[in-house]
Structure 1
Amino acid sequence: MDKAPHPFTFRDYRFYWIARLSSTIAQLSMVIVIGWQVYDIARRTMGVHAAALQLGWIGLAQFLPLLALTLVTGWTADRVDRRFIARSTAFLEMLCAAALFAMAWTGTTTLPALFTVAALLGVARAFAGPALGAIAPNLVPPAVLPTAIAFSSISWQSGSVIGPALGGYLYAAAPWAPYAVSTVLFAVCIFCLMFIRPLPRRAIGGSTNPWAQMIDGLRYVRKNRLVLGAISLDLFAVLLGGATAMLPVYAKDVLHVGASGLGNLRAAPSFGSAIMALTLSIRPLKRNVGVKMLCAVGLFGLATTAFGASTWMPLSLACLAILGASDMISVYVRQSLIQLWTPDDMRGRVGAVSSLFISGSNELGEAESGFLAGLIGPVPAVIAGGIGAMLVAVSWGWWFPELARAKTFDPPQTLEDIPLEKEPAA
């Protein structure tokens, strides 16, 4: 059998990859600094617990737009040119970065301004996620898609390593610097997206009513036990194990490493993820993919628990790197299963539901961690979350046996091969 070509042999995929890398660096340079500024401003007038609570609110500010817009964004990604959506959202993010740059330059940054920008970034990500996710399968053949997903993850994880560290170091040099660099990087993203050629799109099947078409995405995810199990596993594991929300607290009051140390802490999970993504791009998973995903989530919880208890910077960095590597395995398996087991005319709407769950596990997880830290303290909150993530891995193996039975990524040959939940008899 001939070896599948490398994803980079496809021109449009190369532009897509560079766009993902530049936008990720820009996004996470901004996010890490926004979190630091929120905690720093709040810390001046509040105690540690109250300031940590503000980190919960900032996570919620980014999550609520996604929650409110999920049905609309998925439907839009299946009806409107996905390239146009990606370019428009990158332009909105560029405007947000420019606004934060202007405020930092003039020394007028306030908590309300940071919360407003965070909400706008949430809107941009709500539309960008389904569109960008649905673009990728149209840029390479199906046989190349798992490797393309691994390389897309490399761009994301590389940006996740570079972005937080870059943001922390630039902020230490000048508060306006990370926002200036992010503005330029978003412009690079838009430039690359302009060169992706028109994509083939299939007409949406079923009802012609827009609201019914939106609901179809939710219905498909609910009925497809494999897709539902994979998406919800990530949601609840990361929702409970959201250690990254507490990194400003750990940097300032537990490990005492300052803003530059915060950048290193935030980059450590992505460093582990990038190494694992590179490994998977060279030696992709082929057998027992579902069991490996469940084991990876269990390891994610264990690493989170160990990080929560650590007061030594090298150990904390190692735990975060292991956390990121295990999460990468879960992401790799989940995205491959979702993309290959979802019809193209449904990918935007299913991608929107997936983005909601992913953001729920990130932004909403940060909110949960912030609120719990406000009640019991940052360290107990992180430890409890890690234990919860391990319990989720065990529970999902029991509740969704379809995950354990997923041996390979091979897509279904017919609709009858998809593990759909049967409708009750009338």
Structure 2
Amino acid sequence: MKPWSAFRFRDYRMLWFGSVAAMVTMNLRVLATGIWLYEETGSGVVLAGLGLIELGMRIPANLYGGALADEVDRKKLMAVTQAASFLLIAAMAVLEGSGTLRIWHIYVITAVLSSTSVLGGPARSALTARVVPRSHLMHAVATNTATMQIGTMVTPIVFWFASLTTDLTLSFAVTAGTAAVSAVLPLMIRIDGRAEGSTSGQSRVRNIVDGLKYVKSHPILPGLYLLDIGVTVVSFYRQLFPIFADHLYRGGRGTVSALTWANSAGGLIGSFIVMFTRDYRAKGMLVLWATLLYGVLLIAFGATTVLWVGMIVIVALGATDGVGMTSRQAIVQLTTPDNMRGRAIAAHSLAAMSANGIGQAEVGFMSEMIGADRTMFLGGAISIVVVFLVWWLVKGVRQYRYTDVPSAAAADDDDSQSSQPPFQTGLRDLN
């Protein structure tokens, strides 16, 4: 099967293009707001505060978004949340252009957009398994991860050109434009956006509780989520590139763009690596190996003071992170039924995003206290310990073996909606 096989399906192409636009929107917003705050204050603590705000808003929104994705039309949910991004980012462009943008504006808008982006995230991920057959799902998930990296590779280039002006008005305006595109494309998907066996008759709180119970009883997912949390909390570096550019390389906007591009290039490489691991059945061990190497590379990153060497290390970090993230997402999709998929993905996103928020705060504060280099040394060492603990304590992760099940129809075929193969593939021996 060719790596780009998922693009055979029209609905997947629409989902993919919409995802690229949404990812570019989010990354441009993160870059623009982060650099605006750092240039305005010069404080890593202010950036850390931004991470705490995102965390506080994302936790409830993520749980709610997972339940919504299993109840309502996923296409409309994506469109509405991206429309909110367009309106609020356009407001930041107007405020910056008039010279009235303030720190509290950034904080409030970030809080709202953290909620809306999370509400639409589970719907976008859950829809992937509906627009391609199961036989193409591993490639589709890998392509989705590559989409994220393509978006983040395009972002620093676009941002660099847009930020050549004296202020960041153009950067915010371009971001609003990509948000508008991402709001329209989901509505062009033909397949029914509602989950099979939708639980819309139950209360939303009951649906959330049922989803959490399902994840808790799953033999693999809790271990994967704990691994993600344990590593990311002590190592999250992506949104703190302004700090690393300053502390390690004495650079500014150009250095931030270079580091962001290198991380995205590495993530793209990692996504393509996963596409060629289809016959490697030990998907759980693939996650563990990738995360172990990630911890080692964190230590190497903290030791670099030359930009081009740091970029090479960041490429490798991005690649190992890409392999681990793609494999985790694929395992969630492959082992969860459609009417639980939104909530299972939301739990995964909750683990990742909560860890990102805490990690941004932790790495920001620690960089101020002990320096950026020592923060990465500490994060790498703890990450290695976490990998060994999950390998030892959670047998479901190390024992999981993926088994392919042929799919009878393509996702764009009329009868594909009623011929879904079993979802519990590879789980029987773990229970």
Normalising by the residue count of structure 1, what TM-score does the alignment of the two structures yield?
0.91
Letter of the structure 1 residue corresponding to residue 304 of structure 2? S
Structure 1 residues 420, 381: closer, same or farther in 2, change over 3 A? farther
Q: Distance in 1 between matches of 2:3 and 2:102?
A: 52
Say whether the 8 Å CA contact 1:19–1:188 is kept in structure 2: yes
Cα 1:230–1:285 shift into 2, 3 Å: farther
Corresponding residue pairs, total = 414
Cα 1:401–1:186, aligned 2, differ >3 Å: closer, same or farther?
same
- Residue 176 of structure 2 corresponds to 183
Alignment CA distance shift 1:416-1:105 (3 Å): closer
Following the alignment from structure 2 to structure 1, what is the Cα–Cα distance between the partners of residues 4 and 247? 50
Q: CA deviation at 1:287?
A: 2.6
In the alignment, which of 85, 110, 118 is matched to residue 118 of structure 1?
A: 110
Matched, 1:147 2:139: yes
Q: Aligned in 2, Cα 1:205/1:385: closer, same or farther, shift over 3 Å?
A: same
> Are the equivalent residues in 1 in contact too, given 2:208–2:343 (CA < 8 A)?
yes
Picking from 51, 54, 61, the partner of 1:69 is: 61
Q: Which amino acid aligns with 1:383?
A: F
CA deviation after TM superposition for structure 1 residue 100, in Å = 1.6
Quote the offset at 1:12 in angstroms. 0.7
Residues 299, 414 of structure 1: alpha-carbon distance in 2 compared, 3 angstrom cutoff: closer
| Residue-by-residue CA offset, 1:253-293 (whole Å, 9 max, x unaligned) | 43122101111112211111112223433554533222121
> Partner of 1:316 in structure 2?
310
Corresponding residue for 1:226? 220
2:285–2:397: 8 Å Cα contact kept in structure 1? yes
Identity across aligned pairs (percent)?
A: 26
Change (3 A) 1:267 1:288: same
Match of 2:35 in 1: 36
| Alpha carbons 1:75, 1:214 under 8 Å: kept | yes
Taking the aligned partners of 2:325 and 2:284, their CA distance within structure 1 comes to: 12
The equivalent of 1:85 in structure 2 is 77
What is the one-letter code of the residue matched to 2:233? L
- Are the counterparts in 1 of residues 38 and 47 from structure 2 also a CA contact under 8 Å? yes
Deviation at 1:147, TM superposition (A): 0.5
Q: 1:357 aligns with which of 340, 351, 360?
A: 351
What are the ranges of 5 or more consecutive residues in structure 2 without an aligned counterpart? 406-420
* Partner residue in 2 for 1:171: 163
CA distance in 1: counterparts of 2:427 and 2:312, whole angstroms: 39
Partner AA of 1:155 in structure 2: T
Q: Deviations over 1:200-236 (max 9, x none)?
A: 5223469934322210111111111201112221222
Q: Structure 1 residues 343, 73: CA separation in 2 closer, same or farther (over 3 Å shift)?
A: same
Output the CA distance in 2 between the equivalents of 1:302 and 1:84. 42
CA distance in 1, matches of 2:137, 2:426: 20
Question: 1:397 maps to which residue?
Answer: 391
Which aligned pairs between 1:251-262 and structure 2 lie closer than 5 A? 251-262=245-256
Query: Is 1:385 aligned to residue 384 of structure 2?
Result: no
Q: CA deviation at 1:29?
A: 1.3
Work out the CA distance in 2 between the residues paired with 1:312 and 1:415: 48
Name the aligned partner's letter for residue 120 of structure 1.
V
Displacement of 1:176? 1.3
Partner of 1:27: 26
Instruction: Please name the residue that 1:16 is paired with.
Output: 15
1:18 shift after superposition: 0.5
Q: Between 279-288 and 89-98, report the one with greater CA deviation.
A: 279-288
CA distance in 2, matches of 1:420, 1:211: 32
TM-score norm. by structure 2 comes to: 0.90
Q: What's the counterpart of residue 47 of structure 1? A: none
Alignment partner, residue 151 of structure 2: 159
- Cα displacement (A) at 1:383: 1.9
In the alignment, does 2:239 pair up with 1:269? no
Distance 1:96 1:253 in 2: 32
Contact 1:149/1:335, CA 8 A, preserved across alignment: yes
The aligned counterpart of 2:409 is none
Over the aligned positions, Cα root-mean-square deviation in angstroms equals 2.4
1:46 aligned partner: none
The CA distance in 1 between the partners of 2:65 and 2:343, in whole Å, is 7
The match for 1:194 is: 187
2:280 is matched with which residue: 262, 281, 286? 286
Residues 75 and 421 (structure 1), Cα distance of their counterparts in 2 relative to 1, 3 Å cut: farther
- Given the superposition, is the C-alpha separation of residues 417 and 300 from structure 1 closer, same or farther in structure 2, using an over 3 Å criterion? closer
Counterpart of 1:139, as a letter, is: V
Return the alpha-carbon distance in structure 2 between the equivalents of residues 421 and 223 of structure 1.
12
Separation of aligned partners in 1, 2:176 and 2:200: 41
SS of the residue corresponding to residue 173 of structure 1 reads: coil
In structure 2, the CA distance between the partners of 1:212 and 1:145, relative to structure 1 (3 Å rule), is: same
Change (3 A) 1:3 1:240: closer
What amino acid is the match of 2:24? Answer: I
Query: Which moves more between the two structures, 248-257 or 117-126?
Result: 248-257
Deviation of residue 415 (structure 1)? 5.9
Identify the range of structure 1 (175-184 vs 319-328) with the bigger mean alpha-carbon deviation.
Answer: 175-184
Paired letter, 1:310? T
Q: Corresponding residue for 1:48?
A: none
